[in-house]
Chain A
Amino acid sequence: MNRVIRELAALPRDARDTLFLLCVIGLILLPQIENLPWWCTAITAMVLLWRASLSVQGRSLPSKWWRLALLALILGATYATHRTLLGRDAGVTLIVSLLALKTLELRARRDAFVVFFLGFFAMLTNFFYSQSLLTAFTMLLALLGLLTALVNAHMPVGRPPLMQAARMAGWMALAGAPIMLALFLLFPRLAPLWGTPSDAMVGRSGLSNTMRVGTIAELALDDRIAARIKFDGDRAPPQSQLYFRGPVLAQFDGREWTALPSWARGAQWSPNLRVSGEAVRYEVTLEASNRPWLLTLDASQQPPAAPGFEVTGTPDLQWIANRPVTDLVRYRAESYTQFQSGPLKRTGGQLQAYLALPPGTNPRTAALAAEMRADPALANANAQAFVQAALRRLRTGGYSYTLEPGIYGNDTADEFWFDRKEGFCEHIASAFVVLMRNLNVPARIVTGYQGGELNGVDNYWIVRQSDAHAWAEIWQEGIGWTRVDPTGSVAPGRIGQTQRLQPQPGLIAGAFGSMSPTLVQNIRAAWEAVNNGWNQWVLNYTQSRQLNLLKNIGFKAPSLEDLAYVLLYLLVGASLAGAGWTLWERSRHDPWLRLLGRARARLAKAGLQVPDTAPPRQMAQAADAHFGPAAQAVRDWLLKLEAQRYAPATPDSLSTLRAEFRRIAWPTDHPRG
């Protein structure tokens, strides 16, 4: 180890600087790895390592042909992967590869600058995928690293230690931080200048607008946060009431549930929401989902007040924004947990779409429905009775909840009801809806999130992707649509409990968790509170917050132009301060000379004029001649002042002399004789 350090320290300056730059580039690209195609990671790592070994061994750089070949390879592979060279993901792949490739061409100063600038871009591309605290911290380190390398490149003399450049870079970043803060607070947050390429909308998982058997199983393993909810006055409804509504799916092809196309809705255009009970008011901080859905607690009458979005409601009680949520967004909403919706009467064919089933599928479920209808206990039963019968069957029929149900065949409802008798929410909900439709009860699937957990540190409710859920709604004459959650009948623990059915933890996590589960929970709660603070204050600093800031400063009706004005005032103020400082610096003299000047002025006041050019000793002599013994103290002081400046070892500091100057007994003008 020591040998390695010694060898690194003995490297020639060129090699050392190159290695440092390569390390910084590695740091920039590290968080990208999971978002890059595998070949891009491989080529980049290979090129960086190659370049490092070249510089350690002091060998010359590869020829132009190597670089051209690699470039062609990268362009070809990028096109093969993304089917385009434009767009966000292809752009990121290209920037990362080119950054690595450019290190093979570090000859002139210009090349180095290209690497630095590509590095800044590469840093920004990290934020496409994550804006977490950890990413921010890593990129801060990387920025300091790049600045250090840049400063180091402009120290042409000798082999300055990297620490010197790092100190200068740190100082620049520190002194630049107030500028950053002012710009961040006041630079007007504009809407996107033009539409972002469509592939910006893929890549992050979340709820989807279709439901295929198995897709929510993946989400159940995903511990990322989907949304944070802060209830007003911390008055949260019971956890079993926390249903957050996502897409409503009513069209089934045997395997996949999709939303009803708008033409199939018939005349039903109004949600016709009827609420009861007390309103729940809360604030949602929604993580980026790349979907236009704004989650609200089921169900809200008024659109959520999301700044920067135009929100419209669907007949299915979902709230849709005019553009996808590509970044953290915060909004307020108001909901009623007790509600019904939809038409009260079955008129025309408007509910036919909620009874449709693909012909020939799930024959055994159809037989089950026929059997139930023939059951004398259920003769003339209404929808509610059928629901209760089905739920009873789920509770008592040996059905169980599992995250690993395996792959289902074509007749998923049949398999669930009769063969496997296990599954998770979407199998259960799907089988339930199929049965209901067979019973001629209009039914549909609602997807969304259920539950959440309270973070005791900051009292935010956290809804994770693992809380994704699917439940059913059935329509009943005279009542309308009501929610039925069949999963609760199979696994009561799934609904309204903090303890989730967890996937088996890994070996290490398991050991850690068994050591002290509460410690782990506390650490996690604290970390999430910090993260939430970061989200609330940094990532969710929006236009409305900017305008609020101006309101707090004292603007009556702030607008974006006011932001620009405040920035301008700050700029003018800073320039004036700079000019004032320059003036002050120009008039500033050596402190020793200033003290001497004060002594000269004091002597003049006492009646003794000494020329401006007189040194302390000459002044002392003049004072001695003028005042005689009365000037003893002054003379001693002046000689000390002289010693302070010129003696090899100075007995008194300038501040001591200054203090003495104030205490000194100055002679008055009584000239001798």
Chain B
Amino acid sequence: MSPAGALRSRIDSWFLSRRPPSDTLELTQRNVYIVPTRAGWTLGATLLVLLIASINYQLNLGYLLTFLLAGSVAVGMHVCHGTLRGLAMHLVPPDAHYAGAAAVFRVVLHNTRRRVRYGIGMAVRGSGQWAWTDVPAEGTSTVEIAFQPERRGLHPVPPLTAETRFPLGTFRVWTVWQPAAQMLVYPTPEAHPPPLPPGEPLSGPAAMSASLRAHNAGEYDGVRAYRRGDPLKLVVWKKAARAQAAGSEELVSRDTQQTQREELWLDARSTGLADAEARLSRLCAWVLMADRLGVDYGIRVEGRVMKPSQGEAHRRACLEALALC
């Protein structure tokens, strides 16, 4: 990082430390900052040259031009500061995201003024990916700020920054904002995971009841992931069609003998990978795969155990366990 960049980030950290994190921020004189941009300095130099030319050629009209331009720039500075001052920002609680995937924060901007606020940009601090918006007079506008979560886990929302250069681009008015909200980041799902692991035989009372049920019902069917060598008549075409509609090529086989006595455990140890993050990544992919297939699954990871089940809530719980372990 360049010295100027380091200095700027230090200044920003100092700004951040001045106020406690909050999901709503009203911008006032105290937390909006203003500095001239490079274009602003150039315009200043231009004004100086115009002034010198006016003096040297004794042009009264040149003075008028120079001073009118200077006056407009001064008013522009005020307008620029006013674009952010008085704006209220509210962070919509962020959804959970996968690490490494593109995601957005939603921020709602409230304008109580009777004039439109033009050209407000928002970004995660230091990302340089600006989302621009105008906030209508006495209205609101929602900005979607792009970001890419890097590590799994429960993180505070990174500091956000709002900026404007409206109207003349000669000044940069900005604020930094540390929201209080936290966001959950799941591990990155592995891109091309191997098929689901085979089920494990039931043991204990659960196994007994399952086998009893199988005996009683006779034709109770479970499903499992298609394995090489499964006869075609075992494939559950309805589920396969649904899975394919969801963009997956995986097939599902009817499990007549084993399912009753086996259940699908996604275990960190069964991934056969040494790296802890890689294991979590594969488990994450498997959870998503199993969820798509609609089979019961449980996970065992780092001492956390989620009993086999399915559904949206279960999937979330599993992913959360993967994110936080």
A-side residues, CB < 8 A to B, are 88, 109-110, 113, 117, 120-121, 123-124, 127-128, 131, 135-136, 139, 143, 147, 150-151, 153-158, 160, 164, 168-169, 171-173, 175-180, 183-184, 187, 190, 192-194, 196, 200, 326-327, 538-541, 582, 586
Interface residues of B in 46-95 (CB under 8 A from A): 46, 49-50, 52-76, 79
Contact B55 A538 (CB under 8 A): no
Of chain B, the residue at the smallest CB distance from A125 is B53
The answer for the CA separation of A175 and B77 in the assembled complex, in Å, is: 12
Of chain B, the residue at the smallest CB distance from A139 is B65
Contact B68 A173 (CB under 8 A): yes
Q: With A121-B46, A136-B61 in contact, is A157–B79 under 8 Å at CB?
A: no
Q: With A172-B72, A179-B71 in contact, is A326–B169 under 8 Å at CB?
A: no
Query: Which residues of A lie under 8 Å from residue B169 when comparing CB positions?
Result: 109, 113, 150, 153-154
The answer for the CA separation of A242 and B189 in the assembled complex, in Å, is: 99
Contact A196 B75 (CB under 8 A): no
Number of A-B contacts defined by CB within 8 Å: 150
Contact B71 A135 (CB under 8 A): no
The answer for the CA separation of A171 and B78 in the assembled complex, in Å, is: 12
The smallest beta-carbon distance between A542 and chain B, in angstroms, is 8
Contact A184 B168 (CB under 8 A): no
The answer for the CA separation of A182 and B7 in the assembled complex, in Å, is: 38
Contact A582 B29 (CB under 8 A): yes
Contact B52 A193 (CB under 8 A): yes
The smallest beta-carbon distance between B118 and chain A, in angstroms, is 5
Contact B79 A136 (CB under 8 A): no
The answer for the CA separation of A183 and B55 in the assembled complex, in Å, is: 14
Query: Which residues of A lie under 8 Å from residue B72 when comparing CB positions?
Result: 147, 169, 172-173, 176
Query: Which residues of A lie under 8 Å from residue B119 when comparing CB positions?
Result: 154-157
Contact B46 A192 (CB under 8 A): no
The answer for the CA separation of A157 and B119 in the assembled complex, in Å, is: 7
Query: Which residues of B lie under 8 Å from residue A113 when comparing CB positions?
Result: 39, 42-43, 169
**Most chain A CB inside 10 Å of its own CB: which residue of B61, B66, B166:** B61
Sample 20 A-B pairs with CB under 8 A, ordered by A number: A124-B53, A128-B57, A150-B167, A150-B168, A154-B168, A154-B169, A156-B119, A156-B121, A157-B134, A160-B118, A168-B167, A173-B68, A173-B72, A176-B71, A176-B73, A176-B74, A180-B68, A184-B64, A187-B67, A193-B56
Given A154-B169, A177-B68, 9 more contacts at CB 8 Å? A127-B59, A147-B72, A150-B169, A160-B118, A169-B167, A172-B76, A187-B63, A193-B55, A539-B60
Contact B118 A155 (CB under 8 A): yes
The answer for the CA separation of A151 and B55 in the assembled complex, in Å, is: 29
The answer for the CA separation of A168 and B115 in the assembled complex, in Å, is: 11
Query: Which residues of A lie under 8 Å from residue B121 when comparing CB positions?
Result: 156
The smallest beta-carbon distance between A51 and chain B, in angstroms, is 22
Contact B68 A176 (CB under 8 A): yes
Contact B67 A154 (CB under 8 A): no
Partner of A154, one of B43, B52, B57, B167: B167
The answer for the CA separation of A113 and B41 in the assembled complex, in Å, is: 12
User: Is B282 interfacial (CB-CB < 8 Å)?
Assistant: no
The answer for the CA separation of A422 and B62 in the assembled complex, in Å, is: 46
Query: Which residues of B lie under 8 Å from residue A190 when comparing CB positions?
Result: 55
The answer for the CA separation of A178 and B74 in the assembled complex, in Å, is: 11
The answer for the CA separation of A190 and B57 in the assembled complex, in Å, is: 11
Of chain A, the residue at the smallest CB distance from B45 is A117
Query: Which residues of A lie under 8 Å from residue B165 when comparing CB positions?
Result: 154
The answer for the CA separation of A88 and B63 in the assembled complex, in Å, is: 18
Partner of A192, one of B29, B55, B64, B67: B55
Query: Which residues of A lie under 8 Å from residue B28 when comparing CB positions?
Result: 586
Query: Which residues of A lie under 8 Å from residue B15 when comparing CB positions?
Result: none
The answer for the CA separation of A109 and B37 in the assembled complex, in Å, is: 12
The smallest beta-carbon distance between A155 and chain B, in angstroms, is 5
B111-146 interface code vs A (CB 8 A; 1 in, 0 out): 000001011010000000000111000000000000
Interface residues of B in 163-190 (CB under 8 A from A): 165-169
The answer for the CA separation of A124 and B68 in the assembled complex, in Å, is: 12
The smallest beta-carbon distance between B165 and chain A, in angstroms, is 5
The answer for the CA separation of A154 and B55 in the assembled complex, in Å, is: 32
Contact A196 B56 (CB under 8 A): yes
Partner of A172, one of B52, B116, B118, B167: B167
Contact A192 B49 (CB under 8 A): no
Contact A326 B57 (CB under 8 A): yes
Query: Which residues of A lie under 8 Å from residue B43 when comparing CB positions?
Result: 113, 117
The answer for the CA separation of A128 and B67 in the assembled complex, in Å, is: 17
Contact B59 A128 (CB under 8 A): yes
The smallest beta-carbon distance between A483 and chain B, in angstroms, is 34
Query: Which residues of A lie under 8 Å from residue B134 when comparing CB positions?
Result: 155, 157-158, 160
The smallest beta-carbon distance between B187 and chain A, in angstroms, is 36
The smallest beta-carbon distance between A120 and chain B, in angstroms, is 6
The answer for the CA separation of A237 and B75 in the assembled complex, in Å, is: 52
The smallest beta-carbon distance between B135 and chain A, in angstroms, is 10
Query: Which residues of B lie under 8 Å from residue A154 when comparing CB positions?
Result: 118-119, 165-169
**Most chain A CB inside 10 Å of its own CB: which residue of B58, B119, B132:** B58
Query: Which residues of B lie under 8 Å from residue A194 when comparing CB positions?
Result: 56
Contact B65 A143 (CB under 8 A): yes
The answer for the CA separation of A329 and B115 in the assembled complex, in Å, is: 47
Contact B57 A131 (CB under 8 A): no
Partner of B71, one of A180, A200, A327: A180
Contact B55 A147 (CB under 8 A): no
Contact A127 B71 (CB under 8 A): no
Of chain B, the residue at the smallest CB distance from A117 is B46
Contact B70 A180 (CB under 8 A): yes
Contact A327 B58 (CB under 8 A): yes
Contact B61 A151 (CB under 8 A): no
The answer for the CA separation of A147 and B42 in the assembled complex, in Å, is: 16
Contact B57 A192 (CB under 8 A): yes
Query: Which residues of B lie under 8 Å from residue A193 when comparing CB positions?
Result: 52, 55-56
Query: Which residues of B lie under 8 Å from residue A171 when comparing CB positions?
Result: 75
The answer for the CA separation of A194 and B68 in the assembled complex, in Å, is: 25
The smallest beta-carbon distance between B38 and chain A, in angstroms, is 8
Q: With A120-B46, A136-B64 in contact, is A196–B29 under 8 Å at CB?
A: no
Contact A168 B79 (CB under 8 A): yes
The smallest beta-carbon distance between B115 and chain A, in angstroms, is 10
Query: Which residues of B lie under 8 Å from residue A110 when comparing CB positions?
Result: 39
Sorted nearest first, the 9 A-B pairs with minimum C-beta distance are A176-B71, A179-B71, A176-B72, A183-B67, A180-B67, A156-B132, A180-B68, A175-B75, A131-B61
The smallest beta-carbon distance between A303 and chain B, in angstroms, is 20
The smallest beta-carbon distance between A141 and chain B, in angstroms, is 12
Query: Which residues of A lie under 8 Å from residue B59 when comparing CB positions?
Result: 124, 127-128, 131, 327
The answer for the CA separation of A158 and B132 in the assembled complex, in Å, is: 10
The answer for the CA separation of A63 and B62 in the assembled complex, in Å, is: 36
Contact B62 A124 (CB under 8 A): yes
The answer for the CA separation of A139 and B165 in the assembled complex, in Å, is: 26
Query: Which residues of B lie under 8 Å from residue A157 when comparing CB positions?
Result: 118-119, 132-134
Of chain B, the residue at the smallest CB distance from A540 is B60
The answer for the CA separation of A187 and B68 in the assembled complex, in Å, is: 13
The smallest beta-carbon distance between A172 and chain B, in angstroms, is 4
Partner of A121, one of B49, B61, B63: B49
Query: Which residues of B lie under 8 Å from residue A143 when comparing CB positions?
Result: 65, 68-69
Of chain B, the residue at the smallest CB distance from A136 is B61
Q: With A155-B118, A172-B72, A586-B29 in contact, is A124–B166 under 8 Å at CB?
A: no
Contact B50 A184 (CB under 8 A): no
The answer for the CA separation of A158 and B141 in the assembled complex, in Å, is: 14
Q: With A113-B169, A156-B132, A157-B132 in contact, is A538–B61 under 8 Å at CB?
A: yes
Query: Which residues of B lie under 8 Å from residue A173 when comparing CB positions?
Result: 68, 71-72
The answer for the CA separation of A193 and B61 in the assembled complex, in Å, is: 18
Of chain B, the residue at the smallest CB distance from A142 is B65
The smallest beta-carbon distance between B302 and chain A, in angstroms, is 47
Query: Which residues of A lie under 8 Å from residue B46 when comparing CB positions?
Result: 117, 120-121
Contact B167 A117 (CB under 8 A): no
Of chain B, the residue at the smallest CB distance from A116 is B43
Q: With A117-B46, A124-B50, A538-B60 in contact, is A179–B167 under 8 Å at CB?
A: no
The smallest beta-carbon distance between B129 and chain A, in angstroms, is 14
